[in-house]
Amino acid sequence: MEDSAPQPTDDPVYVLLEQARQLILRFVHYIDSIFERLGTARPSNALLRKLTSYALVPAETALRRVVLILAAHQPIPERPKPRALPDAAKPPSGTVSP
């Protein structure tokens, strides 16, 4: 984790994204600390299920919401204009049409 204090900002999206980032980091740190305490012992299936439901799934949900928030604040790209079709009814220059 970073040692520097977060810079103040007036952008509410930035503040929300920073809070989500901190939440995800706390979940990851929580999971990491449990595995560190276990050492080389294999975790039980019940522990893995609890870690998945209490930490991993909420972290993934927060990450998905961050992506949706970022996408919602991006400008909508302009659609490319369709190419003009060649006019087949136009007679070649220098010819007279009947």
pLDDT, tens digit (0-9, with 9 covering 90-100), for 20-56: 999 999 999 999 999 999 999 999 999 999 999 999 9
Q: Characterize 75-86 residue by residue with b for buried, 16 or more Cβ atoms within 10 angstroms of its Cβ, and e for exposed.
A: eeeeeeeeeeee
State if pTM tops 0.75: no
Percent helix, strand, coil in the chain, to 5, is 55, 0, 45
Better-scored residue on pLDDT, 91 or 87: 87
Domain boundaries, the chain: 12-72
